[in-house]
Structure formats: C-alpha cells, structure tokens
Structure 1
C-alpha cells in the first residue's frame, strides 16, 4: 500500500483492509506450504478429515464451508497426490468416507508446523495482547448467527 492521498482514504475501510491483509497472508501461507505440494485449502481439508471420525465428502464440505463441486475437486486433488483415500463407510455401506492416508497424515503434521510458523511470523508486528484480541475478534466475526443462516431446503 502506498502513502498517497487516495490510498489513505481507503485505509479506513474494513473491506479494503481485510482484502489486503488476506492477500498478504495468502502469499505468506503459500510460500510456507509450497515445499509440501499443497495449498491452504487442501491443508484445511486434510485437517478436517483427520480430526475425529471418518467423514463423507459432504460432511467435510459443511465443516469447511465449501460447495459440493469444490469439495469433490479438492478431494480429487488430494487423492491424486496419495494424501487421502475414499473408503466404504463402516457405519453405512451405501456411503463413502474420505480419510487421510499414512502419507497424508505425515504431510499434515509437517505442513501444519510450517503453517503455524508462517502465521506466527505474519502476526509478529502485533503485540501479544493485540494478536490474541485480533484472533478472538476474527473468530467472533466468522461465526454466522443462527438467524442469518440461509434456509436449507
């Protein structure tokens, strides 16, 4: 961001600031994850799939907040890299689940460390209390209130 008057008028706008912070963080995250051959969305899918119990693609999509088509593409890409496998559900044989492979679990551990370090470096300009408050505020804003959720139907 330059220091001219037109940019100064924008730096009080939330949308402008969020966009530019997001772009800077996306670049930092991409650099940290490049050695692992995954991007932030793929790593998020791996993290969700490794979290608790085997999930279907649609359950994982709901947790991440992406549509069906996007999730299929993400899982296809991860499967192509040998990081996840689709398996028949043990609870419902009509359903498939997606689970990280041993290679995917190892990559997740290593890439998560790199992601966390990139995040720590990115937030370094903020004092600890501001960093914690910033993350709390983002979590608060990221939650869609019940009355604002679109109806499913």
Structure 2
C-alpha cells in the first residue's frame, strides 16, 4: 500500500511540475492557444500562442510510446506496472452522446476558464481565488454528474 501511495504521489508531483514548466497552469496562455481567431486576424482577436501545441504533441508522443510497450504483448506477457498486479486498460471503444456532451462541456469550460482539472489542482497552491472558485465548481459538477448521470 505504501508503494502504491508513493508512486501515485510521485506521478502526481511529476505531472504537476510538467504542467507548471509548460505553462499549462496559466489561464491566459491556455486561452491564447485556444484563440484560433488570432491565427487569421491577430489585430482583431489578439495573437495566437502555439506553444501549447508542442506540449500536447510531446504528451501524445509519450502516450503512444507507453501504449506501444504496454501489454497485451505476446513477447512480454508478464509486464505490469511497478505498483499494481496488472495493467488496467480501457476496453470501451464506442462513441456515444454522453462522451460527446462531456467533451463539449470540457472544451467550453477549458476555453472560458483557462483551466482543466489537472492544471487547476496544480494551481491550488499559487492560483488565488479564481482557481479556488473553478475547483469548487468542478467538484460540484463532478458530484452532480455522479449523482444523476452515472449508469445504475
């Protein structure tokens, strides 16, 4: 159990450090990236900030590499995480209305607030009142979704 907690805390700390270093915890930087109007007319909409595209590209490369070496792999069936008995990979592959609605709500919230869950939690130590309001609203939304939208 201690090993699991250690790896979870170390992973979370490394993730938070990456978010801070990359600027993902800065709402203005995120909103500058989402400001696609700035690509065509920066005078009217303000400049577009492409730097987060490199952050996302790097994250995608790491994910692709991780999934490439993650079982099921007939050559290495015994591979497993350091602090778990086995890999627990998602099995659903369908795209339904709930997934699309959730993705749309996430995107709208990210665009309006400049935060998504990971960076918001990483910003709690330094973010001030705005991030506290965002995290409170996020937790309330999660509770509402769990109560009324989760499968029974």
TM-score normalised according to structure 2 size: 0.29
Richer in strand (by share): 1
TM-score normalised according to structure 1 size: 0.29
